[in-house]
Structure 1
């Protein structure tokens, strides 16, 4: 693709949880709970007008779904602030300090006053119907091989509640995640190449990891904004795999190009979307379609007609996904399982005769199409109203949307793109003045950036570039240096353990959370003291993962503790005595076979250099 000619623009929004001792506006812990919830709350949410009397379109669409929300909570791990039954406490100063450090690392201009705002969100992820957020810094930058990228904003905000499940218009959330501090870092739309957006996401991630941020699945989330000149801005939520980013960009650009082609053909045909919804229930009496048969019992079978849409609903717009899938995405937001359209029928138990009866009933011409939805009457009607709205947009062009990232690098419809109408001032929290002297103190004590740290440990510890890169990338460099300060084991052995051994153990299903820094120090100190060999380190760590109380106990119970020099000497004397004839015939030439016998019998419980020395001395004597 010629991205310059297409006018490709991309921007990133990165959300990262901070590793603080308490939440942003209450003293609750910032840890997710796996125990049974102790009580529940019920809520229904509705949109409210902004100060200018406007209602956000995304909030309005959510309200039409008429969802009910249950919030699971705990007596001691959550509180009344998360339940929206008590005013927020003062701002977490530790979280603000981390945000200021990040702003400085990203070359940003910090604001003089931190003002907390309310951002309306009524998808149930916030009990009060809004998320608290505030601007910390603006106008930063980051250099890449494709050019400089501007970092527009850095905001400090509270994370949303954790979604547990959904069933028939009822959504369950848990309040343990609500209120955990996070930063939102937003770039400008200056990225023009798919590889560049991955590079920027990686670099920002590395800067984040140089500070006190949480690690692990779900603690960092990337949203990607994409547009082309004839298309529209689309926000893709939840891009987890950085390596999939370039493919996701390509697929979104392809989708917009295909939608533009569909628009041009619809306009050429003078296409029209009819507003009337038809009840075609009577046409499907005795149908073989299971979905429609079920709807005939307590629901409706409804149809709408599109003039000039024939053949276009089945056009592929993303790999394996068609324009009909786009329309179905809008219908599903209203609670139906899907829809039927003429480009895929007859199928799903719907016969050609039934298709023709619907075409005749709706008075369709050759280039016309119809959409069917079979479900409860209200849900089916709301679904078709959404499909009508989306189909009308297709005649105009590409709609602005918020879309959800899929594991196959495609996307699916989530909701309309939010507007500025959802922001208003938080009146329960006073503004916070950011002292300039305090900011200068932070700037004079900034943490080491990942690239600088990598270069330093290569030089200081004589590590290969690969090992140093893996330590920094896996956020193990500080642990590595702490162990090296307490042991004389060679740096390559220690680094390899952090960079690769721990990864292999985790992949094999071992609980490496038991291998804290104290455990690793003790293990390598045993090597320094001559109690175990370097080769035994992995087996000791496996023993601790499997339940041994300490590295010492693991080495003892697994028979890995090295023998004393005196014990080794006795074993060598016995081997030489048992092979006296070989020694008599070969003399020092028996060294090789006897060394193999000794190492096999010692099973790694003696250093090879010591065995070699003692055996040579014995043969020479």
Structure 2
């Protein structure tokens, strides 16, 4: 894909960053914010959701389309799941810890907190909330961040409840897990000041750094998500949801700009051809006795084949508009929303068991000529009818250019249609939660991660690389905590950033380790009960048996510190076994015997002490 002159293209982009906060409890209840495996659920229940009208009596178009798909939503509940999460009890007030962290974020972006924060309901009927809406509160406005291509304004900062985690599709609908629902979430919306893909990535990285500087955000896959709004001068605003990785943002912006360029060119070509979308028709008779497995399967179960003629579309339905995606793929996305497996169209036929004769008969049946295309859907009759109408509607918007819509980010940097762009009709006040008055005067401004790196080098004498690893790593708050308790900074840093990484690479289940485990191991070293060399072994034992305390694990594994007499005795035995080598090589034998001594002591003695005593023993015998 060629790179465009984005200034000439009129590229405009903005970001919405969603970051989970690492609080003790959820935003509107006292349930914990830990994530669990679906297998740990203790019960399940179902809901059917439908859109409601706003204060002005309007229904949001995105919610309305979502409701047209008849689905059952099943929720996995846990032993801690409460009535608020099930929507059987009113929510409590905004969590104080979450509000304070949000105000810290506001300070880092020079934002202005609101005088009074009101909780609003945002209609969401895709099943991700048991209520049918998401609770959200505006906390601050204004502000900016700097990038190498200029400042990017910050429009607003909201405190929201996280949605439920989609677990899997079921025969009747979708299954969700409630452990994520209600975790405090900040949403940061930038102004549309971004003009290149590279600036979008830089802005997202800057915001991510500011968020992590608080030390109060969750880390790991799925804890931060980016939505990207993209448009070009001749296109339309498109919201791309759920970008999981920061590294994908520039590709997402680049691909969306290219997609809109292609759609504009297709519009111009369709206009030149005086193209039009015809009426949908039942063409089941055309495919009686077909060899196509997909179509034959639908017909054998009593289904139908529905078609729509696309006059003047020949060659354009199969035109690529993004990597591995064509205009026909867009049509198919809309059909799938109504239950169809996809579509066939004449730009790709004959194929898939459909013959040339069937293609000609199809064209004749709908009155399509050689310059026209035809799209078909084969499925149960109700699904086929709804799906082909959706295809016809999307084909109609191709005549206009780029439709405003919400799209879903895919792993390969492409996107697919998700739903119409939501409007203001989806918001209305939450009457169960009283407003709060944010007070930023008592909120300290967090230290930036960039400043932490410098401080760790100056104050703790860490190397630049290790200091950066610690400051930007997931264990930064734990590092600061243990160092404040007197643990040696170098020991703490190497344990958290090097030792744990090495164990993970060796497939040791370090995810089973808690902060309490790690703190206890470091304290044992600090108290002289465990040599530095025993840290790796003890952490490995605790990873395999996390129910033990560090002291119990050390005792069971024989990893406690040995006194000097025990060390001397072990070294003497090693030297004695290698007496001939010592007599012949003298101190040259030191390197080989050092490793053997450390192995014999199994991490129970400090390396410096072993080195000193081994040298003394060799000198006596040489």
| CA separation of 1:492 and 1:598: change in aligned 2, threshold 3 A | closer
After superposition, residues 68-83 of structure 1 pair within 5 angstroms as 68-74=72-78, 77-83=80-86
**1:330 matched to 2:329:** no
After superposition, residues 161-176 of structure 1 pair within 5 angstroms as 161-176=164-179
**1:128 matched to 2:160:** no
| CA separation of 1:617 and 1:184: change in aligned 2, threshold 3 A | closer
Q: Verify the 8 A CA contact 2:44 2:76 in the aligned structure 1.
A: yes
Query: What is residue 350 of structure 1 aligned with on the other side?
Result: 354
Query: What is residue 259 of structure 2 aligned with on the other side?
Result: 255
Comparing 564-573 with 224-233, which one deviates more in the overlay?
A: 564-573
CA displacement at 1:555 relative to structure 2: 4.5
Structure 1 unaligned blocks of 5 or more: none
CA displacement at 1:345 relative to structure 2: 0.8
In the alignment, the residues of structure 2 paired with residue 20 and residue 422 of structure 1 have an alpha-carbon distance, to the nearest angstrom, of 28
Query: What is residue 20 of structure 2 aligned with on the other side?
Result: 17
Q: Verify the 8 A CA contact 1:271 1:308 in the aligned structure 2.
A: yes
After superposition, residues 86-485 of structure 1 pair within 5 angstroms as 86-209=89-212, 210-274=214-278, 276-297=279-300, 298-434=302-438, 438-442=439-443, 445-485=444-484
CA displacement at 1:52 relative to structure 2: 3.1
Comparing 178-187 with 27-36, which one deviates more in the overlay?
A: 27-36
In the alignment, the residues of structure 2 paired with residue 44 and residue 598 of structure 1 have an alpha-carbon distance, to the nearest angstrom, of 69
| CA separation of 1:231 and 1:136: change in aligned 2, threshold 3 A | same
Comparing 240-249 with 65-74, which one deviates more in the overlay?
A: 65-74
Query: What is residue 7 of structure 2 aligned with on the other side?
Result: 4
| CA separation of 1:521 and 1:56: change in aligned 2, threshold 3 A | closer
Q: Verify the 8 A CA contact 1:575 1:598 in the aligned structure 2.
A: no
Query: What is residue 592 of structure 2 aligned with on the other side?
Result: 596
In the alignment, the residues of structure 2 paired with residue 134 and residue 580 of structure 1 have an alpha-carbon distance, to the nearest angstrom, of 76
| CA separation of 1:551 and 1:211: change in aligned 2, threshold 3 A | closer
In the alignment, the residues of structure 1 paired with residue 402 and residue 182 of structure 2 have an alpha-carbon distance, to the nearest angstrom, of 35
Aligned to 1:79, the other structure's residue is in SS state coil
In the alignment, the residues of structure 2 paired with residue 307 and residue 41 of structure 1 have an alpha-carbon distance, to the nearest angstrom, of 48
Q: Verify the 8 A CA contact 2:309 2:372 in the aligned structure 1.
A: yes
Aligned to 1:114, the other structure's residue is in SS state coil
Q: Verify the 8 A CA contact 1:169 1:335 in the aligned structure 2.
A: no
Comparing 536-545 with 369-378, which one deviates more in the overlay?
A: 536-545
| CA separation of 1:269 and 1:554: change in aligned 2, threshold 3 A | same
**1:58 matched to 2:62:** yes
Q: Verify the 8 A CA contact 1:595 1:611 in the aligned structure 2.
A: no
Equivalent residue pairs, number: 610
Q: Verify the 8 A CA contact 2:53 2:59 in the aligned structure 1.
A: yes
CA RMSD of aligned residues (A): 2.6
In the alignment, the residues of structure 2 paired with residue 167 and residue 517 of structure 1 have an alpha-carbon distance, to the nearest angstrom, of 37
In the alignment, the residues of structure 1 paired with residue 247 and residue 607 of structure 2 have an alpha-carbon distance, to the nearest angstrom, of 44
CA displacement at 1:352 relative to structure 2: 1.3
In the alignment, the residues of structure 1 paired with residue 184 and residue 491 of structure 2 have an alpha-carbon distance, to the nearest angstrom, of 37
Q: Verify the 8 A CA contact 2:586 2:619 in the aligned structure 1.
A: no
Aligned to 1:113, the other structure's residue is in SS state coil
| CA separation of 1:80 and 1:328: change in aligned 2, threshold 3 A | same
| CA separation of 1:278 and 1:198: change in aligned 2, threshold 3 A | same
| CA separation of 1:88 and 1:454: change in aligned 2, threshold 3 A | same
CA displacement at 1:281 relative to structure 2: 1.0
Comparing 526-535 with 410-419, which one deviates more in the overlay?
A: 526-535
CA displacement at 1:583 relative to structure 2: 6.5
In the alignment, the residues of structure 2 paired with residue 618 and residue 126 of structure 1 have an alpha-carbon distance, to the nearest angstrom, of 71
CA displacement at 1:427 relative to structure 2: 2.6
TM-score of the superposed pair, with normalisation by structure 2: 0.91
Aligned to 1:431, the other structure's residue is in SS state coil
| CA separation of 1:249 and 1:579: change in aligned 2, threshold 3 A | closer
Comparing 64-73 with 238-247, which one deviates more in the overlay?
A: 64-73
Comparing 549-558 with 264-273, which one deviates more in the overlay?
A: 549-558
Comparing 40-49 with 97-106, which one deviates more in the overlay?
A: 40-49
Q: Verify the 8 A CA contact 1:511 1:545 in the aligned structure 2.
A: yes
CA displacement at 1:540 relative to structure 2: 2.1
| CA separation of 1:480 and 1:98: change in aligned 2, threshold 3 A | closer
In the alignment, the residues of structure 2 paired with residue 568 and residue 85 of structure 1 have an alpha-carbon distance, to the nearest angstrom, of 65
In the alignment, the residues of structure 2 paired with residue 21 and residue 162 of structure 1 have an alpha-carbon distance, to the nearest angstrom, of 19
Provide, for residues 41-70 of structure 1, a one-character-per-residue CA deviation record: whole Å limited to 9, x for no partner.
Answer: 443333333333332111111122122333
Provide, for residues 118-138 of structure 1, a one-character-per-residue CA deviation record: whole Å limited to 9, x for no partner.
Answer: 211121222332222121110
Comparing 368-377 with 38-47, which one deviates more in the overlay?
A: 38-47
In the alignment, the residues of structure 1 paired with residue 580 and residue 172 of structure 2 have an alpha-carbon distance, to the nearest angstrom, of 87
**1:523 matched to 2:521:** yes
In the alignment, the residues of structure 2 paired with residue 212 and residue 345 of structure 1 have an alpha-carbon distance, to the nearest angstrom, of 55
Provide, for residues 329-370 of structure 1, a one-character-per-residue CA deviation record: whole Å limited to 9, x for no partner.
Answer: 111011111000011111111111111111122222111000
Provide, for residues 59-85 of structure 1, a one-character-per-residue CA deviation record: whole Å limited to 9, x for no partner.
Answer: 1111221223333445x5233333333
CA displacement at 1:181 relative to structure 2: 2.2
In the alignment, the residues of structure 1 paired with residue 573 and residue 24 of structure 2 have an alpha-carbon distance, to the nearest angstrom, of 61
Aligned to 2:163, the other structure's residue is in SS state coil
Aligned to 2:399, the other structure's residue is in SS state helix
CA displacement at 1:16 relative to structure 2: 1.8
| CA separation of 1:568 and 1:592: change in aligned 2, threshold 3 A | farther
| CA separation of 1:170 and 1:467: change in aligned 2, threshold 3 A | same
Query: What is residue 543 of structure 1 aligned with on the other side?
Result: 541
| CA separation of 1:122 and 1:352: change in aligned 2, threshold 3 A | same
Query: What is residue 31 of structure 2 aligned with on the other side?
Result: 28
In the alignment, the residues of structure 2 paired with residue 567 and residue 316 of structure 1 have an alpha-carbon distance, to the nearest angstrom, of 74
In the alignment, the residues of structure 2 paired with residue 361 and residue 241 of structure 1 have an alpha-carbon distance, to the nearest angstrom, of 48
In the alignment, the residues of structure 1 paired with residue 577 and residue 23 of structure 2 have an alpha-carbon distance, to the nearest angstrom, of 65
CA displacement at 1:319 relative to structure 2: 1.1
In the alignment, the residues of structure 1 paired with residue 62 and residue 517 of structure 2 have an alpha-carbon distance, to the nearest angstrom, of 50
